Amino acid sequence: MEYSHQELAAEVSRVLGKDLPFEQITVNTFLESIGLLNDTAKLKHFEAIIINQQEGLLAGVSDAAPSITGQPLVTVEEFINENRSAFGLGPAKSAS
Domain ranges within the chain, ordered by starting residue: 5-87
**Mean pLDDT, the chain, whole residue set:** 89
* C-beta of residue 25 within 8 angstroms of C-beta of residue 90: no
* Structure confidence at residue 94 (pLDDT): 58
The arithmetic mean of pLDDT across residues 8-29, rounded, is 92
Cα–Cα distance for residue pair 34/29, rounded to 1 Å: 9
Specify the pTM: 0.71
* Structure confidence at residue 95 (pLDDT): 53
Q: Count the residues in the chain.
A: 96
93: confidence class by pLDDT, cuts 50, 70, 90: low
Share above pLDDT 70 across residues of the chain, in percent, rounded to a whole number: 96
52: confidence class by pLDDT, cuts 50, 70, 90: very high
